[in-house]
Structure 1
C-alpha cells in the first residue's frame, strides 16, 4: 500500500466508524500535510483517492467534506419482461414523455444553471470569430461540418484517450438530432429498437414520433441485463439498439468497463447497429472520465452520438456523431434532410475548444456539479420520508428517486399546480414499474441565501408535497 493509500485508509476507517460524520469538513491540504508529516502532493493524492471512490467530495473554495455514501440496492427494475416489442405511443402520458413547465423550472429539464456557464469567455470568443468571419461563413455550411470544428473535437477527445480522425465525424444540430438521423437511416417504421429501462423520456418521445417500437432492457445499479440484450440480438427481435452507457439518464450510473466491452462484442457478433447516446460523457464526478462503448468498437457497429448541450450551452444546438461503418448512410441521410449546421456557431465552438476555454470550463464545472449533487442528496435525505431512496450518480446532472407509497403521477400533477417541474417515473418506460419514482435536475446551485425563485425553494416545496401525499395515505 502506498503512502497516500495508507493515509486515505485512515479516513475511510474514521468515516466507517462514524468518527467523521456525513458532511464533516476535512483539513485543508496544507494543514493535512503538516499534521501527517507528508508532502502536499501526497495529501492531494489521498483526497483524490477518497473522492474517486465516493468517500468525500470537494466544494469549490470551501474544502473537502465527508460524502453520503448510502447506495441504492433495490431500485425497481422491470418486474417481468417478455422481450416483446411495445408501441410507446400507446403508453405515453397525456402530455408526452418529456413535457415540462415553461419559466423558472430548475428541477425539470436536465441542464446547468446559467450561473455555471462561461458566458463571458463564450461571448469573447463569439466576438472574436465574428470580427474575422469570412464570406463563406454566411453561405450554406458544409454538410459534414466545418473541418476546423471536427479537428478541434478530434484533438479534444484524444486528450481524453478517445482517439478518432476528424474525417470520421459528422456535425449535427444536437445529440438527439444525431440519434434521429441514425434511427431514420438504419431502421424503418414499426421496427423494434432495444432501449435501456428506465429510458430517457426524450428518446421515448423521439421513438414515438418516428413510429418505432421498443423492447426495454433492464438497467439497475449493477448495469445492463446483457443476457436480455443478447437474446434480442440473437433472435433478431430488434433492428438496432439505442443505449446510454455513461452517466445513464435517469439512473446516473455508468456501465462497468466489462459491460461496455461486451456490448461492443455483441454488436460485432450479431452485426447489430448500436446507437450510443453519450451526451453526459464529459460530466464525470470522478477525476478520471470513463470511456464510451465506442472505444472498444473495432468493427464500426456503434454510432457514437454526443453534443455540447449538457456541458456548455443547449441553445447553440450543436452535436456530432461517429457513425463507424454506417458513415455513408448517416452522412447521406443527414445531407438530404438538412442543409447542415450553422457555420458561425460551428466556428465559434471550434475556437472555444482550440483556445482551451472549453476544457477549462469542464474542469471547473465538474467539481461544482459533484458538490451540488451531494448537497441535493443531503437535502433530500433530510426532508423526504425515511423510506425514500436516492440515487448516487457517478456523473451527469440528475437524481433518480423512489418514494414507496407515493404515486408520482399524482405528485407531478400537484407539483405542476405549485409551479414545480419534475419528471414522473411513468415518463421513462412503457411499463408501470416506475410509478413511485421521479427524476430531478441538480444543475442549479442550492444557494445558502434562500430566495423566492430558487432551486432550494422548489426542492423544499417538492419535499412538502411528498410529505403531504404520504400523510394522506397513512
Structure 2
C-alpha cells in the first residue's frame, strides 16, 4: 500500500474496533500530518480516501467525523417470478409512472443541485468554442456524432480502463434517447423485454409509449435473479433485456462484477441484445468504480448507453451509445428519428473533456455526493420510525426507503399538497408491490436553513408527515 493508504487503514482499523465511535471528530489535517510525521499531501490523500470509501464525512467549518456504518439494508424482493408478460400501459398507477408534477422540489427529480454544476466553467468553454467556430458548426451535424466528441469520450473512458473505438460510438440526445433508439431498432411493438424490479420509472414510461411489454426480474441486495432471466431466455419469451447495472435508480445499488460478467455472457449465449442504461456509471461513491457489463461483452450483444445528464447538467441533452454489433441498425433508426445532435454543444463538450475540466468536476462531484447522501441517510435514520429501512447507495444520488405496512402513495399525495415532490414505490413497477416504499433525491446539499423550499426543511416536513400518519 502507499503511505496515504497505510495511514487511512490505520483509521479504518480504529473505526472497526470501535476505538473511534460514530460521530468522533478526527484530527485536523495539520495535526494529523504532525502526529504521523507525514506531509500535508499525504494527510489530505488519506482523508480523501476515507471520504470516498465512506468511512468518514466532512462537516463544513467543523472538520472530519467518523461516519455511521450501518449494515447494508436487505429489502423484500418481488415474490412473483413467473412468465407473465405485462403491459405497462395497463398497470400504470393513476398518475403514471413518472408523473409530470407541476411543482419542483429538491427531493423529487434525480439530479445534482445547480450549485454543484460547474456553470462558470461551462459558460467559459461555450464562449471559447463559439469564438473560434466556423460556419460548419451551424450546419446539419454528422448523424453518428461529432468526431471530436467521440474521440474525447473514447480517451476519457480509456482512463477508467474501459476501452472502445471512436467509430463504434454514437452521440444521442441524452441517455433516454439512446435507450429509445435501441429499443426501436432491436424490437417491435408488442415484443417483451426483461427489466429489473424495481425499475426506473422513466424507462417504464418509455416502454409504455413504445407499446412494449415487460417481465420484471427481482433485484435483491445480492443482485438480479439471473436464474429467472435465463429461464426466460431459454423459453424465448423476451426479445431483449434492459437493465441498469451501476448505482441503479431507485435503490442506488450496483450489481456485483460477477453478475455484470454473467449478463454479458447470457446475451452472447442466447444471442439476445442487452440494453445497458448506465447513466450513473461515473458517480460511484467508492474510490474505484466498477466497469459496465459492456466491458465483458466480446461479441457485441450489449448496447451501452450513458450521458452527461447526471454528472454535469441535464439541460445539455447530450448522451451516447455503444451499439456493438447492432451499429448499422442503430444508426439507421437514429437517422429516421433525428437529424443529429446539436453541433455547438457537441464541440463544447469535447473541449470541456479535453481540457480536463470534466474529469475534475466528476471527481469532485463523486466525493460531494458521497457526503450528501450519507447526511441524508443519517437524517432519515434519526427521524424515521425504527422499522424504516433505508438503502445504502454505492453511488449516485437516490435513496430508497421502505416502511412496512405504510402507504407511500398517500404520503406522496400529502407531500405534493405541501409542494414537496417525492416518488412513491408504485412508480417503479407494474406490480402492486412497492406501495410501502418511496424514493428521494439526495443531489441537493442538506443545509439547515429557514427556507421552506430547502432540502433540509422539506425532508424535515416529510418525516413529520410520516410520523403523523403512523
- TM-score band, normalised by the shorter chain? over 0.9
Q: How far 1:80 moved relative to its partner?
A: 2.4
Point out where structure 1 has 5 or more consecutive residues left out of the alignment.
none
**How many residues are paired up?**
470
Confirm or deny: 8 A CA contact 2:51 2:371 kept in the other structure: no
Q: Deviations over 1:33-81 (max 9, x none)?
A: 4324456566556546644553223457764322222134431210222
Confirm or deny: 8 A CA contact 1:83 1:228 kept in the other structure: no
Alignment-derived partner of residue 456 in structure 1: 456
Alignment-derived partner of residue 227 in structure 1: 227
2:138 is aligned with 1:135: no
User: 5 Å matches for 1:247-266?
Assistant: 247-266=247-266
Alignment-derived partner of residue 121 in structure 2: 121
Confirm or deny: 8 A CA contact 1:59 1:368 kept in the other structure: no
CA distance in 1, matches of 2:155, 2:449: 41
CA distance in 2, matches of 1:378, 1:450: 20
Partner SS for 2:164? coil
Task: Identify the range of structure 1 (42-51 vs 256-265) with the bigger mean alpha-carbon deviation.
Answer: 42-51
User: 5 Å matches for 1:234-249?
Assistant: 234-249=234-249
User: 5 Å matches for 1:348-387?
Assistant: 348-387=348-387
- Over 3 Å counting, the alpha-carbon distance change for 1:139 and 1:38 in structure 2 is closer
Q: How far 1:405 moved relative to its partner?
A: 2.4
Confirm or deny: 8 A CA contact 1:100 1:422 kept in the other structure: no
Task: Identify the range of structure 1 (88-97 vs 269-278) with the bigger mean alpha-carbon deviation.
Answer: 88-97
Task: Identify the range of structure 1 (17-26 vs 299-308) with the bigger mean alpha-carbon deviation.
Answer: 17-26
CA distance in 1, matches of 2:42, 2:448: 33
Alignment-derived partner of residue 388 in structure 1: 388
Confirm or deny: 8 A CA contact 1:60 1:367 kept in the other structure: no
Alignment-derived partner of residue 209 in structure 1: 209
CA distance in 2, matches of 1:180, 1:114: 27
Point out where structure 2 has 5 or more consecutive residues left out of the alignment.
none
2:303 is aligned with 1:303: yes
CA distance in 2, matches of 1:361, 1:5: 23
Confirm or deny: 8 A CA contact 1:199 1:249 kept in the other structure: yes
Confirm or deny: 8 A CA contact 1:100 1:421 kept in the other structure: no
2:406 is aligned with 1:406: yes
CA distance in 1, matches of 2:6, 2:154: 39
Alignment-derived partner of residue 84 in structure 1: 84
Partner SS for 1:208? helix
CA distance in 2, matches of 1:441, 1:22: 24
CA distance in 1, matches of 2:353, 2:388: 41
Alignment-derived partner of residue 151 in structure 1: 151
Task: Identify the range of structure 1 (130-139 vs 332-341) with the bigger mean alpha-carbon deviation.
Answer: 130-139
**What TM-score, normalized by structure 2, do the two folds share?**
0.95
Partner SS for 2:156? helix
Q: How far 1:412 moved relative to its partner?
A: 0.5
CA distance in 2, matches of 1:61, 1:174: 38
Alignment-derived partner of residue 339 in structure 2: 339
User: 5 Å matches for 1:6-45?
Assistant: 8=8, 10-37=10-37, 43=43
Confirm or deny: 8 A CA contact 1:48 1:287 kept in the other structure: no
